[in-house]
Structure 1
Amino acid sequence: MIDTKAIEEFLYDRELRVKYQENLIKQYENKTLVTVRINYPGVEKSNYITDDIVNIIYEEINTYYRKYIVYDRKYKNKEGIIGHFLFNIDFITVKRIMIEIEESHILGRCVDIDVYTYKDGEVIGISRSDLYKKSRKCFICDLEAKICSRAQSHTIEEIKKYFEEMYKLYKKKDHEAEQLSYGISQLALKAMISEVSTHPSFGLVSPVSNGSHKDMDYYTFLDSAVAIAPFIKTMAKIGYTYHKPILIFESIRKVGIQCEKGMFEATNNINTHKGMIFLMGICASAVAKVLYEEKSFDDIKDTIKEMVVNILDDFKNIHLKNNLTHGEKLYLNYGFTGIRGEVKNGLELVFDKILKEYENTTVKRNSFYTQILIHLMSEVEDSTIVYRKDIDTLRWVQNSAKELLLIGGVNTTEGQIKIKELEDEYIKNNISPGGCADLLAVSIFLMEIKDKYYN
């Protein structure tokens, strides 16, 4: 028996939704409207699976394209969950983005993502054919979806089964992503704790010394690292995706800001790991992306480069800014690109020298990490040293580290004596190689990643 009341209510809500879309795009001129709905037959479109599917796709768009969204709203009517977005980029680009989601996301075929623009006084929808794209295929067979829909070629039960299977597959993959991102975050946490546990460490905080720092100690770093780890997990999960690396980076930057707040709350406003958050977040999400695509360990380097291809744009027009960051001041004064420059090059020093040179070491871990730190100090343009002291001190640190490597570093008695002398001198003169510390943690992290996922 046909439920005419249900049909009338459905049609009424659809009409309201269309009017809302028209008013929305007229109100926000020169914007592109996106509407997300469930692609489900009949008038009974809302159940726990279909509602969750729309919510998942809605969050997918919000996560990876937040930078371009000026308005978003989600609500429920007789059509099920409805999501609206207004983008500040052209409708052709937006349509391509939405087609990619429909074709690449596990649940992409379960939703309709419509794109509209306002032109010559009317709302115009953009279709796949406008971009010379093939029509969407049917869920069940290989024919065009609109052909099967018109002919009602498949039963409601067949379609329901498809939705249930896709939803189960998504949940399985999402669980795998959760487990993987948690594992990555735990290796990041281990690496951060290993870095601060390294001693001697040339003015850095360690379990036996506050080094050159008066406002923090070993336990401050432990509190900070534990606070950071859940955000690293979030960034890793964002990286486990079909989306392009540059979109991953734009997405994790928002998480990084939240992570910094969590760090400051845990440390009573002491900056223990601000640079580490930036660096480790990029590395964790790049690792996840490479694992998602089942690529090799060496592909992590190129993925980082793709993620941060525009990173030096941060320095554009900084001469016009009133309040400069630590890094911006050093860029203006010395041309230092700091950690941005390191990631711009895909962490070449770490991948091409540190990881390769120390891959088969037999040195015990604490001494091993000290030796890596010395190597990093000999080459890194450490902005922390310059900020705390000056450019001449940086050159002295680099030259001293090179001399230390020449006499064997931790591997010789002469080197061990020199390390102790330098450690005391660094503390006395308030020198702290903070940038090298961050790269030491990342080096440890990547070694752990390689050992766990690639051996």
Structure 2
Amino acid sequence: MKIDVTSAARHPALRPPASPQLRRHGLPQQSARQQQAFCQQVARLALRSLYRELQLYPKPGLVSLVDNGSHSDMDAGTFMRSLFSLRHYFVRITQAGMAGKEFAVLRQLGISAEQTMLKATAGVNTHRGAIFCLGMLCAAAGYCHGRSMSLSAPAIRATLLIQWGDALTRHMQERAAIPHCVEPSHGRLAAEKYAVSGASEEAALGFPSLFEAALPRFLSTLGAGRGYDAAAVDALFVLMASISDTNLYHRGGPAAVDKVKTCARAFLEMGGSATKDWREHAISCHKVFIQDKLSPGGAADLLAATYLLHGLSYLR
């Protein structure tokens, strides 16, 4: 499937602002200490976003501080070891984005981070999707900051499309065309088996489910005064209702995806967190997912990305 991100990137609404100073002189002058401090800020925010995703409850089928959800091979301790192992990765990929490195460099950083994660978790895949998704957002934030651009969601999305969109599209097409030279992820195998889009396709389009669905719902719930956890649960259910989650295809095929989407849409149609007993409804979904061993891991990765985008908008 060919995705035309080049034409999307040319759209005026997606073009990041560039100051006259940048056009005349290139990167603004920043000390190495200032650049490092910013990259560390972004990395801390990325880790905090992953931790907030972990601690959120109720969260159907997913590992939290309360229980292991549908998983027998991982728990909150596994996630904490994984989180700690990624602390240097987020600094490095933000630095690479700030320097305007090509996607091949970002990809190699991500591969190294996966290896570090798997070593820390004794081979359990806790954050492979998050390494890719949050890593690309950190790189885009670094690129924007290094050029005195806004860290708003539109600017970050435009940067993803303009700076790395073509490379992400090529990467997606190459993955589909080249035989497996390394052990593929369960998500990739599921995407190929069922001909559904995965993380690479989502990234090549500038993460539409993140920017057009999850983040707006998150901000809407926050704006209604219902609090951070309610906003996160609403965003998670929006994601579960809308994305083709390859984790679910791997676990139960199309029937599993349909069950999760049906449950999520019912929760949203009743009003989501605006309903008085929303926690009880979410816990009911959680129990059903555990019974059927369903875990919407792709939605969890994008929820962590939602936390990150929201936090980046407050950085200077």
TM-score by length of 2: 0.83
Specify which of 279, 282, 289 is matched with residue 143 of structure 2: 289
- After superposition, residues 174-323 of structure 1 pair within 5 angstroms as 174-241=32-99, 243=100, 247-296=101-150, 297=152, 298-306=154-162, 307-309=164-166, 310-318=170-178
Contact kept? 1:275, 1:435, Cα under 8 Å: yes
Alignment of 1:68-83 (within 5 A): none
Q: Which amino acid aligns with 1:341?
A: E
Paired letter, 1:314: E
Distance 1:417 1:299 in 2: 38
Give 1 or 2: higher strand fraction: 1
Aligned counterparts of 1:372 and 1:316: Cα–Cα separation in 2: 30
Q: Which has the higher contact order (CA 8 A, sep 6+)?
A: 2
Mapped partners of 1:208, 1:378: distance in 2:
24
Q: Which runs of 5+ in 1 are unaligned?
A: 1-102, 107-168
* 1:105, distance to aligned residue in structure 2 (A): 8.2
Residue matched to 2:202: 342
User: How many pairs does the alignment contain?
Assistant: 283
CA displacement at 1:314 relative to structure 2:
3.2
User: In structure 2, what is the Cα distance between the partners aligned to 1:416 and 1:402?
Assistant: 15
| Poorly superposed stretches of 4+, deviation over 6 Å | 103-106
More helix by percentage? 2
| SS at structure 1 position matched to 2:247 | helix
Once the two structures are TM-superposed, the CA of residue 198 in structure 1 deviates from its matched residue by 0.6
Deviation at 1:294, TM superposition (A): 2.0
Q: 1:404 touches 1:419 (CA, 8 Å); kept in 2?
A: yes
1:396 equivalent in alignment to 2:259 = yes
Looking at structure 2, the residues matched to 448 and 225 of structure 1 have their Cα atoms a distance apart, in angstroms, of 18
Q: Check 1:104–1:448 CA distance in 2 against 1; reply closer, same or farther (3 A cut).
A: closer
Query: Equivalent residues in 2 for 1:419-434 (5 A)?
Result: 419-434=282-297
C-alpha deviation, 1:320, in angstroms: 7.6
Contact 1:384 1:434 in 2 (8 A): yes
Matches within 5 A, 1:24-103: none
1:352 aligns with 2:212: yes
Opposite residue 133 of structure 2, the aligned amino acid is L
Determine if the alignment matches structure 1 residue 332 to structure 2 residue 220: no
Counterpart amino acid of 2:36?
A: E
Percent of aligned positions that are identical:
25
Deviation at 1:412, TM superposition (A): 1.4
Q: Is the 8 A contact 1:407 1:414 kept in 2?
A: no
Q: Which residue identity is paired with 1:347?
A: F
Shift of 1:394: 0.3
Q: Distance in 2 between matches of 1:369 and 1:274?
A: 21
Q: Shift of the alpha carbon at 1:366?
A: 2.2
How many angstroms does 1:364 deviate by? 2.2
CA-CA distance at 1:436 after TM superposition: 0.2
Alpha-carbon shift at residue 104 of structure 1 (Å): 6.2
Higher gyration radius (CA):
1
Deviates more, 1:388-397 or 1:231-240: 388-397
Question: What's the secondary structure of 2:313's corresponding residue?
Answer: helix
Q: Does 1:406 align with 2:269?
A: yes
Q: Secondary structure at the match of 1:452?
A: coil
Q: Which of 226, 238, 252 does residue 375 from structure 1 map onto?
A: 238
Residues 409 and 419 in structure 1, CA contact (< 8 A), matched pair in contact too: no
The 8 Å contact of residues 172 and 200 in structure 2, kept in 1 or not, is answered as yes
Secondary structure of 2:65's match? coil
Q: Does 1:440 align with 2:303?
A: yes
Q: Describe the SS at the equivalent of 2:64.
A: coil
Residue 179 (structure 1) shift: 0.7
The one-letter code of the counterpart of 1:381 is S
- CA–CA distance in 2 between the matches of 1:194 and 1:336? 28
Alignment partners' CA distance in 2, 1:443 and 1:320: 31
